[in-house]
Structure 1
Amino acid sequence: MAHDSGAAVTPKFSIADPPAGGEPYLLTPGPLTTSAGVKRAMLKDWGSWDGDFRAMTADLRRRLLAIAGDKDGTYDCVPLQGSGTFVVEAMLGSFLPPDGKALVLVNGAYGQRTVQTLGYLDRSYWVLDKGDYLPPRGAEVAAALDADPTITHVVLVHCETSSGILNPLQEIAEVVAAKGRKLLIDSMSAFGALPLDPQTVPYAAMVSSANKCIEGVPGFGFVIADKTEIEAAKGRSHSLSLDIHAQWAAMEKTGQWRFTPPTHVVAAFLQALREHEAEGGVAGRGARYAANCDTLVAGMRALGFETLLKDGWLSPIIVTFFNPAHPKFDFNRFYELLKAKGFIIYPGKLTVVDSFRIGCIGRLDTAVMHQLVVAVGEALNEMGVDDASPPSSAINERAKLVA
């Protein structure tokens, strides 16, 4: 039962805490499987103007700054209602001035969505597109910045979940800082499980959301930004509701959200933050996800599946697998068979080859991943698929693009 203060007992992670009521495990990049404690935290109603809820908001902001590694008070945290895309748009509209220009590093659907958003915002941009298989590298970014001195900002997706690729953030951040430009990071699916310390990865702003590696539920995102950047954003936003400076100024003055906050989601997120701390913070959470990924990849490869990415670029967040070439493999039936066995996976989001994705994040451990691999093998048998290897055309396409 949730306490009036918003506090709750935080058990260590245990596989003995499966989804309630026979729910399937969500092997997706968020929403994801949450703990029983996070679910229970949503059973109480909160007044959005009440002092207890204002204290919860302040606690949330402090805890996120601690995870971010803000040791000297240079940065601040601003939560914002809506999905992850809302807060990405808010970041772009607030921190990229109308006369600025962004270099957008693209290697998947979410980088492409950034480009689309900048088009809506009528901001200037240039795109470095690496396709689905490869990350942008520091030397390429340096060359692009040297070639166009009008570029003021670089925008990067930390973990591009359409392919599962983990981009070399520190390498790129160092180049951006050396060239005197500013870095904006979409760390939607990485913050909380992978290091993002501004002392070693300098950035102007980054964004993430409640229902990713902190293991909360959907309903809000948050920006962590240099306070000087927040102050400079006054009057810049294109939107009333997505104005980061206005949201920050209101919270600093009153402790309240400007518009109706997702109170139950905030309560759940605070419990998720306590569980994150109890697990060992970023290092502990990241280690569990990495073990999940290793177990998944080894098991799927043993069944004959092949990962889209080579090992060096696999992330511990989500893994993309090629669809089998076997004529009896049908993804929709595969999905339903796995769902019936207690696992919900994610369809692919690539344009070049047919694929599907399996997430490693959420309230999961290696025992769950072993169970999933067994279920995948059973599903293949039920479909009459005795060979899970991908079509040669997919392998050839990858070889051509990676070469």
Structure 2
Amino acid sequence: MESYKGKKLFTPGPLGCSQQVKEAMLRDYGSRDIDFITIVRNIRQELLRIAGISSEQYTAILLQGSGTYAVESVLQTCCSFSGTKVLILSNGAYAKRMKKICHVSDIAADIIDFPENSMIPVSKINDLINKHPYSMVAMVHCETSNGAINPVEEIGTIVKKCLPYAVFFVDAMSSFGAVPVDFGKAQVDYLVTSANKCLQGRSRSLSLDLVDQLQGLESNGQFRFTPPTHAILAFQKALQEFSEEGGIDGRSKRYKKNCSILLEGMKKLGFKTLLPDSEQGYIITSFIFPKHPNFKFEEFYQRLSKLGKMLFHSYCVF
């Protein structure tokens, strides 16, 4: 079996991590070990510090699942009771996944689809939500399927003006830690990556109940169900490296440089970006398949794989 050790992952996840982060997982901890509980508490505090928000207003809840698990936990906790309705602002696949979660969970939801080759237009939001009885407005910050970074601060301001009692939910899975979010301006209630604010609500799911998870972490520092101890140790080490690199400023500087190199090289090869330059983010870059008879994606993919580069590809229909 071919080993992928050392290959660079150009995918939405999982992503590469340092050797030191991998080595942090070599130590075994019991889930109720005092040292492990201390590590969990420190990680929760560090996430709030990275976000630039106060523990008096927000809290961080760790969940032992994928990003979709975390997104569903917010929808289940806030919107699984009678009378709630979600508005999803979509310009890509991950916002559409929110709609699928709502459909499967029997949560009332509307979705507004915008073109996938641009960010969500602020100018249209006011008319879409004004005087509508939505209990939540949900959107993706950096839409992983195309790389668009949506204006959450501007949209959040409009949401709270038109729907002051609605929950504003932002999926920042791809952007937290590299793209700053002004929580005060955006007035975000829930932000999913690892940091979340927990509003009082009820859930019809046991494992996805954020309130119950928070109460456990606050009362005894423990997860309700078996936590991924080795992943938590790796997370702690990754946060240390994040701080050593200069936090959000340092990491975004490196990402911007990498993105600039990538864009320059790909454009020289004749590739065109999906998004216009004015809206191109620096976390994810999407390129359009060349309409050339000699371009075969599988061959392109395999050649890059042999050079130690792993690609992610998706299809957009216009």
TM-score range, shorter chain: over 0.9
Tell me, yes or no, if the aligned pair for 2:31 and 2:229 is still in contact at 8 Å. yes
Runs of 4+ in 1 over 3 A off after TM superposition: none
| Counterpart residue identity of residue 179, structure 2 | L
Task: Report the counterpart of residue 22 of structure 2 in structure 1.
Answer: 39
Question: For the structure 1 residues 296 and 318, does the alpha-carbon distance in structure 2 shift closer, same or farther, using more than 3 Å as the test?
Answer: same
Rounded Cα–Cα distance in structure 1 between residues aligned with 2:187 and 2:102: 23
Task: Report the counterpart of residue 196 of structure 2 in structure 1.
Answer: 224
Tell me, yes or no, if the aligned pair for 1:94 and 1:245 is still in contact at 8 Å. yes
Tell me, yes or no, if the aligned pair for 2:47 and 2:195 is still in contact at 8 Å. no
Task: Report the counterpart of residue 188 of structure 2 in structure 1.
Answer: 203
Question: For the structure 1 residues 349 and 263, does the alpha-carbon distance in structure 2 shift closer, same or farther, using more than 3 Å as the test?
Answer: farther
- Match of residue 161, structure 1, among 144, 167, 180: 144
Task: Report the counterpart of residue 210 of structure 2 in structure 1.
Answer: 244
- Match of residue 345, structure 1, among 294, 297, 311: 311
TM-score (norm 2): 0.95
Are positions 1:182 and 2:167 aligned together? yes
Rounded Cα–Cα distance in structure 1 between residues aligned with 2:72 and 2:21: 28
Tell me, yes or no, if the aligned pair for 1:78 and 1:223 is still in contact at 8 Å. yes
C-alpha deviation, 1:223, in angstroms: 4.2
Task: Report the counterpart of residue 251 of structure 2 in structure 1.
Answer: 285
Task: Report the counterpart of residue 302 of structure 1 in structure 2.
Answer: 268
Task: Report the counterpart of residue 140 of structure 1 in structure 2.
Answer: 124
Tell me, yes or no, if the aligned pair for 1:106 and 1:128 is still in contact at 8 Å. yes
Task: Report the counterpart of residue 88 of structure 1 in structure 2.
Answer: 71
- Match of residue 171, structure 1, among 147, 151, 154: 154
Rounded Cα–Cα distance in structure 2 between residues aligned with 1:238 and 1:109: 26
Rounded Cα–Cα distance in structure 2 between residues aligned with 1:137 and 1:22: 41
SS in 2 for 1:160: coil
Rounded Cα–Cα distance in structure 2 between residues aligned with 1:116 and 1:31: 22
Tell me, yes or no, if the aligned pair for 2:118 and 2:276 is still in contact at 8 Å. no
Rounded Cα–Cα distance in structure 1 between residues aligned with 2:95 and 2:106: 17
After superposition, give the CA deviation of every residue in 1:271-302 in whole Å (9 maximum; x if it has no partner): 00011111111111111111111111111001
| Counterpart residue identity of residue 165, structure 1 | A
Rounded Cα–Cα distance in structure 1 between residues aligned with 2:157 and 2:121: 11
SS in 2 for 1:154: strand
Which one has the largest radius of gyration?
Answer: 1
Percent of matched pairs sharing the same residue: 39
Spell out the pairing of 1:42-53 with structure 2 (5 A cutoff). Answer: 42-53=25-36
Are positions 1:111 and 2:77 aligned together? no
Task: Report the counterpart of residue 262 of structure 1 in structure 2.
Answer: 228
| Counterpart residue identity of residue 277, structure 2 | D
Tell me, yes or no, if the aligned pair for 2:153 and 2:186 is still in contact at 8 Å. yes
C-alpha deviation, 1:334, in angstroms: 1.1
After superposition, give the CA deviation of every residue in 1:18-76 in whole Å (9 maximum; x if it has no partner): xx995211111221111111111011111111101000100110000111111352100
Rounded Cα–Cα distance in structure 1 between residues aligned with 2:5 and 2:53: 40
Give 5+ residue unaligned stretches, structure 1. Answer: 1-19, 209-221, 353-396, 398-403
| Counterpart residue identity of residue 183, structure 1 | F
Question: For the structure 1 residues 223 and 123, does the alpha-carbon distance in structure 2 shift closer, same or farther, using more than 3 Å as the test?
Answer: farther
| Counterpart residue identity of residue 274, structure 1 | Q
TM-score (norm 1): 0.75
Rounded Cα–Cα distance in structure 2 between residues aligned with 1:238 and 1:187: 24
Over the residues paired in the alignment, what is the CA RMSD in angstroms? 1.5
Task: Report the counterpart of residue 377 of structure 1 in structure 2.
Answer: none
Task: Report the counterpart of residue 319 of structure 1 in structure 2.
Answer: 285
Question: For the structure 1 residues 292 and 72, does the alpha-carbon distance in structure 2 shift closer, same or farther, using more than 3 Å as the test?
Answer: same
SS in 1 for 2:267: helix
After superposition, give the CA deviation of every residue in 1:138-167 in whole Å (9 maximum; x if it has no partner): 231111111x42112110100001111111
Question: How many pairs are equivalent?
Answer: 313
